[in-house]
Structure 1
Amino acid sequence: MSQPSLSPSPIVIAVPKGRILAEALPLLAAAGVVPEPAFGDEKSRALRFRTQDPGIELIRVRAFDVATFVAHGAAQLGIVGSDVLAEFDYAELYAPVDLDIGHCRLSVAEPADLAASDDPRGWSHVRVATKYPHVTAGYFARRGVQAECIKLNGAMELAPTLGLATRIVDLVSSGRTLQENGLVEVERIMDVSARLVVNRAAMKTRAHVFPLVEAFRAAVAGARAA
């Protein structure tokens, strides 16, 4: 007697907690991925969720961890900022779709009183607090500036006021957080937007991955045309 075939494991899409998620939800829905009601429950501590499609699940993780989950194949697709992709530079990741959401920039900032007389063209050595040491060191190296990077995961704006570092490299959107902490943006390293990322192996071996990519591509085109 032949054994019944086993159902393939669901495709897992990693989505980030925080600012990008609210913008991503309409695109997910337009791509045919609608989370179960518990996904919207702010009191829920769950991290893995079903969708209306039994072949697709969502996991909600920290933005920096999305790339890691997808690169190592724990998730097949993910939504992540281009800042994270630049910082980790995983060869296993393919980023086929710019989702045109989560727009901000990665910038260098310093105390306003220092910026009043400072000329970035004269920098030869900088001490910088950032959660992007790879991108930061590379940016300054291309300019011939030696960068001492101090890795922080948050509260970057405190570093100059407490003497940890003279400058910071962090994401900037409106600039309000910088202003409220006495800092000003002095250089822009890169513009940032959210991307759909895919595990390269899954793209080749999982039949439903490519149609999902095309669904997201169509969702972005539809949002731009609206």
Structure 2
Amino acid sequence: MAEPLIIALPKGRILKEALPLLARAGIVPEPAFHDEASRALKFATSHRDVELIRVRSFDAATFVAFGAAALGIVGNDVLLEFAYPELYAPIDLGIGHCRLSVADHADAPPITGETASHLRIATKYPRLTQAHFAARGIQAECIKLNGAMELAPLLGLAPRIVDLVSTGATLRENGLVEREVILDVTSRLVVNRAASKTDARVSVLVEALRRAVGDAAAA
């Protein structure tokens, strides 16, 4: 009997939005998946050929790219930041809407190529950040942080940040202003290219999730 296919799911808000789509595709996790006290890392589902793992959003892409999971759910921000050639993203799931934006203090000077040839920016997206500013002739020196990005301007680590923004409430509460949008973000179904060629079950799952997304949009 073939090993179950693994789907890598990101923790947090996207997970809550993804579960109804998975249920429409006939994939319902076992009760332990919802138990916050559980230390389990891999979970069975109602689909005998599918198991789930719950990981950090950046790690979901890595698990799929290196074949530890056959499929996953990943924001297009992560896809573009890592640019793994082993991945392809056949479906925009239409969930996890947010944006990758530049933010700084309200009294910070505007960013232009004439006045700022070099910027120091705190972010967990150095690739996207550097590419965005390089297109304007500005060199971005990126300080890599994985959280609490808003502290960087407050404590003098970097005057600007590039981070995901949903409502903007966290920025406002920390005295920051959203200046420009680098990327509009939604979550995608990602697939390991090798797995899609060697295991016919992968394409069956992809089509089931494609129908689930269509059904959800029509509901």
Same-fold call, TM > 0.5? yes
CA shift, 1:123, in A, is 2.7
2:92 is the counterpart of 1:98: yes
Distance 1:45 1:142 in 2: 45
Q: How does 1:24-63 map to 2 (within 5 A)?
A: 24-63=18-57
Moved more, 163-172 or 36-45: 36-45
Which consecutive residues of structure 2, in runs of 5 or more, have no partner in the other structure?
none
1:186 to 179, 200, 208: 179
2:173 is the counterpart of 1:176: no
1:86 maps to amino acid: L
Query: Which protein has the larger Cα radius of gyration, Structure 1 or Structure 2?
Result: 1
Q: How does 1:148-187 map to 2 (within 5 A)?
A: 148-187=141-180
1:125 to 98, 118, 121: 118
CA shift, 1:120, in A, is 2.0
Partner of 1:179: helix, strand, or coil? helix
Distance 2:40 2:130 in 1: 36
TM-align CA RMSD: 0.8
> Equivalent pairs: percent with the same residue?
70
TM-score w.r.t. length of structure 1: 0.94
Distance 1:78 1:11 in 2: 11
Which consecutive residues of structure 1, in runs of 5 or more, have no partner in the other structure?
1-6
Distance 2:172 2:116 in 1: 23
Partner of 1:208: helix, strand, or coil? helix
1:163 maps to amino acid: G
2:187 maps to amino acid: A
Moved more, 121-130 or 166-175: 121-130
CA shift, 1:42, in A, is 1.6
1:157 maps to amino acid: E
Aligned residue number for residue 67 of structure 1: 61
Distance 2:119 2:216 in 1: 42
CA shift, 1:194, in A, is 0.3
2:111 maps to amino acid: P
Partner of 2:200: helix, strand, or coil? coil
CA shift, 1:51, in A, is 0.5
1:162 maps to amino acid: L
CA shift, 1:47, in A, is 1.2
Distance 2:200 2:206 in 1: 11
Partner of 2:40: helix, strand, or coil? coil
1:140-168 Cα shifts (integer Å, max 9, x gaps): 11111000000000000000011100100
1:181-210 Cα shifts (integer Å, max 9, x gaps): 000000100000000000000011011000
CA shift, 1:125, in A, is 1.2
CA shift, 1:45, in A, is 1.9
TM-score w.r.t. length of structure 2: 0.97
Distance 1:223 1:112 in 2: 40
Distance 2:42 2:166 in 1: 29
